[in-house]
Amino acid sequence: MQEIKTIGVLTSGGDAPGMNAAIRAVVRTGIYYGLKVMGIRKGYNGLISGDIVEMNLRSVSDMLHRGGTILHTARSAEFKTEAGMKKAVTMSKVFGIDGIVVIGGDGSFRGARDLSELGIPTVALPGTIDNDIACSEYTIGFDTALNTVKDAIDKIRDTATSHQRCSVIEVMGKNAGYIAVNVGIANGAEAIIIPEKEFNFNNDVLKPIIEGKHRGKKHDIVILAEGVGGAVELAQRIQDETGIESRATILGHIQRGGSPTVMDRVIASQMGAKAVQLLKDNIGNRVIAMKDNKIVNYDIVEALEMTKTVDEEILELAKILSL
């Protein structure tokens, strides 16, 4: 592999709070090690079209506290085509980019793997509110999203209590239930419904609501992961079968915004710096991950073959605590 002197950084897929902290870490660590750092705008689309600018120390001032990504992002359909990928490789060469840091979710990781296979050393950082990247216990943005959802549900709880209603709240997570499970515990849900676990309406939703009512509960919170979906229908069904007035709230993109928490800023900074350290040592084709609360890295192909599952114990705990 030729010596890496210039690196590019891009954010791809759904944005996540903390991506800016990761970009800042890449830029400043890169410059600290004497590398030239290029910011690639709008994800892989910017790599294809050459929407690329050189970054300096001040390019990343005053953004650590902001949600979103200063480099903008996209879900690039063109990059999934052979022609698109070829253009991306050509453009990397035109701009003299020897290695790339990709910050994004699992789709972005697959793009990073493809770039690596085409000869551009790439290091991927897990950035998504969903926490659904198999190789990593943690993804940048997850903690901020959890806190946003927690705050929203606390507010919904106030009105659910006043009206003695059942609130069905649909949270993001794509095909994973990590957000749902964690806020289910944090917000004291009566039921948590996630795509990873089959649910039975009578046992998992009706029973806790009806039994809770007999134990004196005045309102209910049901957390539904978007991967299962159907919040409005579920709320209607609960109302029809229990007689308890029910309302659905789909939280939507509010979950993706906002100032990143300390945890997201610190982890994003550590991961961004680690990615640069690998590239400056001419090591590419890796992903940065968290294992046992430490920052580690894996081969990108191996990382994409890993799997992870929701902890059954925490689901059990949520049931016990909702009694």
Catalytic residues: 130
Q: Taking the C-alpha atoms of 268, 273, 275 and 276 in order, what is their torsion angle to the nearest 10 degrees?
A: 150
**Pick from 47, 172, 273, 290: which binds ligand F6P (CB under 6 A)?**
172
Q: Which is nearer to ligand F6P, 15 or 220 (CB)?
A: 15
User: What DSSP string describes 10-25?
Assistant: EE-SS--TTHHHHHHH
Measure the CA–CA gap between 255 and 176, rounded to whole angstroms: 15
Tell me the C-alpha to C-alpha distance, in Å, between residue 98 and each of 93, 94, 146, 185, 280.
Answer: 8, 10, 36, 45, 10
**Which positions from 217 through 236 interact with ligand F6P, judged by CB under 6 A?**
226
Sequence-ordered list of residues with C-beta below 8 angstroms from that of 8, at least 6 positions apart, any chain: 37, 38, 39, 40, 47, 52, 92, 95, 97, 99, 100, 101
Provide, rounded to whole angstroms, the least separation between the CB of residue 193 and ligand F6P: 16
Contact between 68 and ligand F6P (CB under 6 A)? Answer: no
Provide, rounded to whole angstroms, the least separation between the CB of residue 5 and ligand F6P: 33
Contact between 42 and ligand F6P (CB under 6 A)? Answer: no
Q: 150 in helix, strand or coil? A: helix
**Contact code string over 4-33 relative to ligand F6P, x by CB under 6 A:** ----------x-------------------
Provide, rounded to whole angstroms, the least separation between the CB of residue 24 and ligand F6P: 21
Span near ligand F6P by CB under 6 A; candidates 35-43, 44-52, 126-134, 200-208: 126-134
User: Binding residues for ligand F6P, per CB under 6 A?
Assistant: 14, 105, 128-130, 172-174, 226, 256
